[in-house]
Amino acid sequence: MTATARPGTLYGIGIGPGDPELLTLKAVRTIEACAVVCYPEARGSSGKVLAKDIATAALPGLAAKRSLGLHLPMTRDAAVLAANRDAAAAAICECLAAGDDVCFLTLGDPSIYSTYIYLHRLVAARGYSAAIVPGVTSFAAAAAELGDGLVDAEQPLHIVPGAYQEQGLELDGEGTSVLMKSGAAILGMLEQLKDLERRGGAVRIVENCSLPDQRIWRLDEITPEHKPGYFTIVVAKPAPCRPADAAGAWASPIQTD
């Protein structure tokens, strides 16, 4: 850091679920105003979902901007996770110290199960400014693709990460459950989901929501050998309490655009 540089700010930008048109005006303006753009080098086991590609489709000028690819692979090894995050935060802070504003592109929204939030905390702990620009979540986008609401008026909505599903989740409570990142994790939930449907509930499965290879699965298509990829949203609605509520269980046709 030179003696004269005013430190930059880190912006965690939610770029939405995949469709470049689901970036907000604020995301576009903030990315444009930052000197440096950074993003995880690869995200998702398929390697196909890249935050930078999505944002570049909305902002062609992004390709010419100085970029910082950060090595943040998914792992359950806590020491490796911490070391990678520290290294990424240090690389970001180096830019901030030089006076550059930095944006980090994250799929969906930064406050809901994002890797960004750990970098946000590390960078803030080093004394730099860090701000969040919210984005469209994948479950809101999945509901839009399915063409109906997620939850009826007086019911709660439960957002459940993949890891939690593996620990054994009860779907007997009130309200709708949204299971996130349900690629392999859905296998542990299959019997419960089928039972929910037998009891009058409704289950919908959206893989790669809002991306060109989006696919809507039926529950009975899924087997241990044939299952959707990592970026899969399962929406599990309870059986309607009153007959009038049945219209809420995807009575309207599925929207594909």
- Among residues 131, 211, 216, 239, which is the contact residue for a second copy, using CB under 8 A? 131
Asked whether 96 and 10 are in contact (CB, 8 A), the reply is yes
Beta-bridge partners for 72: none
Contact between 112 and a second copy per CB under 8 A: yes
CB of 2 to a second copy, least distance (A): 25
CB of 257 to a second copy, least distance (A): 7
Asked whether 132 and 106 are in contact (CB, 8 A), the reply is no
Contact between 22 and a second copy per CB under 8 A: yes
Q: Are strands 176-179 and 232-237 parallel, antiparallel or unpaired?
A: antiparallel
- Among residues 42, 50, 58, 91, which is the contact residue for a second copy, using CB under 8 A? 58
Instruction: Say how far apart CA 104 and CA 39 lie, in whole Å.
Output: 5
Beta-bridge partners for 232: 207
Residue 114 makes CB contacts below 8 A (sequence gap 6+) with: 12, 14, 106, 107, 108
Closer residue to a second copy (CB): 30 or 232: 30
> Binding pattern to a second copy, positions 135-174, x when CB under 8 A?
xxx--xx-xx--xxxxx-xxxxxxxxx-xx--x-------
Over the range 157-167, which residues count as b (16 or more CB within 10 Å of their CB) and which as e? ebbbebeebee
Contact between 192 and a second copy per CB under 8 A: no
Contact between 99 and a second copy per CB under 8 A: no
- Among residues 130, 205, 206, 234, which is the contact residue for a second copy, using CB under 8 A? 130
CB of 118 to a second copy, least distance (A): 9
CB of 194 to a second copy, least distance (A): 21
How many other β-carbons are positioned within 10 Å of the β-carbon of residue 116? 27
Task: State the DSSP string of 190-208.
Answer: HHHHHHHHHTT-EEEEEES
Asked whether 146 and 163 are in contact (CB, 8 A), the reply is no
Contact between 14 and a second copy per CB under 8 A: yes
* Residues engaged in binding a second copy (CB under 8 A): 14, 16, 19-26, 28-29, 58, 109-114, 117, 120-121, 124-125, 130-137, 140-141, 143-144, 147-151, 153-161, 163-164, 167, 247-248, 251-253, 255, 257
